[in-house]
Amino acid sequence: MAETSTHPPITRVPAARDVLELLKPITWFPPMWAFLCGVVSSGVPLGDRWPFLIAGILLTGPLVCGTSQAVNDWFDRHVDAINQPERPIPSGRIGGQWGLAIAVIGSVLSALVAWVTGPWVFVATLVGLALAWAYSAPPLRLKINAILGPGAVALSYEGLTWFTGAAVMAGTLPGAPVLVILLLYSVGAHGIMTLNDFKAVEGDLATGVRSLPAMLGIDRAARVACLTMLLPQLVVVALLLRWDHLIVAGVVALLVIGQLAAMVRLLRDPRAMTPWYAATGVSMYVLGMLASAFGLGGVWGL
């Protein structure tokens, strides 16, 4: 009688295309955009900062953001088996412990690159990595909390990456106006993260994830998300006016009005219109971020 092996089955090395899919390059754009806002808001000419700029782009995009996607997919593999079974891990294209290994390797690489880029970038990167793991991994698993989950993602995607861009260029802690504006846009991004939860309501309800759409229903959650996006931007406009960035304040105000118009359409059917709003309202939101950065950086006297 043949012995039964107690060793776990050996899984093949994942294909490069499946690893890339796991890291979700499409999600790298928001943090890289916020990083660009940080660079502009610093008001520092590129000069000899190019190596640091390239390191920052790698950090905010493929390294930290890509790692966060791997972490999330590994700890969400059971939820994804319900919501999106075609993803690399639940489909078996990335088998065994490879998903976890990719997340760990990405975390180590991110920390190493941040270490050589600068102390404030290193601190921001460690905070971002900690939030990525806390968001998805037990025992904290912040994503099951309707406030802390989207808040962690919003802070990582918008605030910390903006901070990284400004710190990379200035080589020191960014000034108070930059810190205030990036925090306000991070708060507003909480609403954007709530919209992203609409597509996973069924899986969230089945697995106990207490997202706002799962708790409040999609219609009420959409209204909360809209208010969350709007109110911080109004404060941004007020601060820009106070700091005599009149042209930029006007541009941001017009973009807020455009978002209001888009929100009216979104609220008629939030689930169906969320992809449309992501292409219109969210685009206006991030354009407002960049406009604010131009003002803070004193670009063209704005």
Average pLDDT value over all residues in the chain: 90
Residues whose CB is less than 8 angstroms from the CB of residue 181 and which lie 6 or more positions away in sequence, other chains included: 41, 236, 239, 292, 293, 296
Is residue 126 very low, low, confident or very high in pLDDT (cuts 50, 70, 90)?
very high
Report whether pLDDT(191) > 60. Answer: yes
What whole-number percentage of the chain has pLDDT above 70? 92
Is residue 211 very low, low, confident or very high in pLDDT (cuts 50, 70, 90)?
confident
Q: What is the pLDDT of residues 243-298, one digit of tens each?
A: 999 999 999 999 999 999 999 999 999 989 989 999 999 999 999 999 999 999 98
Looking at residue 221, its pLDDT comes to 87
Looking at residue 20, its pLDDT comes to 96
Helical (H) or strand (E) element with 212: helix 212-216
**Separation CA 11–CA 114 (nearest Å):** 32
- Report the candidate in 253, 230, 249 with the shortest Cα–Cα distance to residue 294: 249
Work out the burial of residue 210: count CB atoms within 10 Å of its CB; fewer than 13 is exposed, 13-18 middle, 19 or more buried: middle
- Report the candidate in 102, 20, 30 with the shortest Cα–Cα distance to residue 61: 30
* SS3 sequence of 240-301: HHHCCCHHHHHHHHHHHHHHHHHHHHHHHCHHHHHHHHHHHHHHHHHHHHHHHHHHHCCHHH
274, 195 Cβ separation under 8 angstroms: yes
Q: What is the pLDDT of residues 35-87, one digit of tens each?
A: 999 999 999 998 888 999 999 999 999 999 999 999 999 998 987 888 789 99
Work out the burial of residue 235: count CB atoms within 10 Å of its CB; fewer than 13 is exposed, 13-18 middle, 19 or more buried: middle
Q: What is the DSSP string of 74-121?
A: HHTHHHHHHH-TTSTTTTTSS-TTHHHHHHHHHHHHHHHHHHHH-HHH
Is residue 299 very low, low, confident or very high in pLDDT (cuts 50, 70, 90)?
confident
pTM reported for the whole predicted model: 0.89
Looking at residue 201, its pLDDT comes to 67
Report whether pLDDT(203) > 70. Answer: no
Looking at residue 6, its pLDDT comes to 45
Q: Who has greater pLDDT, 25 or 194?
A: 25
Quick one: CA dihedral 142, 287, 66, 184, positive or negative? negative
Is residue 177 very low, low, confident or very high in pLDDT (cuts 50, 70, 90)?
very high
